[in-house]
Amino acid sequence: MNLEFYIDELKKVLNEERFKHSLGVMETAEKLAIKYNADIEKAKVAGLLHDCAKNLSDEELISLANKYNIQLDDVLLRSPSLLHGPVGGYLIGDYFGIHDEEIKRAVMLHTTGDKDMTVLDKIIFLADYIEPNRNFEGVENLRKASSSDLDGAVIMALDQTINYVIKKHQLLYTKTVIARNDMIIKTNSILQNIDF
C-alpha cells in the first residue's frame, strides 16, 4: 500500500479542512492500532481514506449507492450524508486500488457503526471522533477513555452520537443503535454517570 499516493490523490477530492481531518484520523488510528494490537498499516490507510466520499453531493452519493447495490432505506434517503461511509468503502477499491475487506468495512462503518464491529472498525470509528482537530463537549473524556478501554470509549461515542441526533430531532440510523446494543451486550457493561 502506497500511503504517499493515497495522500496525493486524497488532496484532489477533499477540501483543505476535510483533508486535515483525514490526516488527524490517520495519526489517531495509528496510535490506537499500536495500543490495541491491530494492523497499523491497515489502520493508517483506513483512517486516511475514511472520508474519501465526504465531499460528494447527496445526489452523487445516492447514485453511487445504487451503482454499488447499497441497500437504501428511508433514513438513508432522507440523510444521504450517512452514505459517505458505505460509498467510500467501494470507492477505495475503484479509485485507490484497495481491495482489503477489513479496510473496506472499517471505512463503510466509520460513521454509523454496526453489529459485530472488529477492532479495526472500532479504531476507525473512534479515531474519526477523537482526532486532534475535533473540538466538542465531551471529546476530552472520549480521548481519555480511548487510552485504556477501546470498547468503553466506542460505547461512549455511540451514546454521544445518539444523544446528539435525538437533541437535534433528526432521524436516528438503526445500525447505530444496533452497534451500541451489541457492544453493551458483548462487553456486559452499561456505562453510567458519563459526563458528555
Structure confidence by residue, pLDDT tens digits, 103-116:
999 999 999 999 99
The pLDDT value given to residue 190:
56
- Whose cell is 453531493? That residue is 57
The mean pLDDT of the chain is 94
- Look up residue 95 and give its three cell numbers: 479509485
Domain boundaries, the chain: 3-135
H-type alpha helices, 147-187: 150-167, 174-187
pLDDT in tens, 147-186: 999 999 999 999 999 999 999 999 999 999 999 999 999 9
86 — pLDDT class (breaks 50, 70, 90)? very high
- Whose cell is 466506542? That residue is 154
Give the CATH number of domain 3-135; options: 1.10.3210.10, 3.30.1360.10, 3.30.365.10, 1.10.3720.10.
1.10.3210.10
Taking alpha carbons only, the member of 107, 105, 96, 144 closest to residue 25 is 107
- The yes-or-no verdict on residue 193 having pLDDT over 80 is no
H-type alpha helices, 15-100: 16-35, 40-49, 58-67, 74-78, 84-96
State the Cα–Cα distance between residues 196 and 189, nearest whole angstrom: 18
- Whose cell is 458505505? That residue is 86
Run of H or E including 8: helix 3-13
pLDDT in tens, 116-144: 999 999 999 999 999 999 998 889 999 99
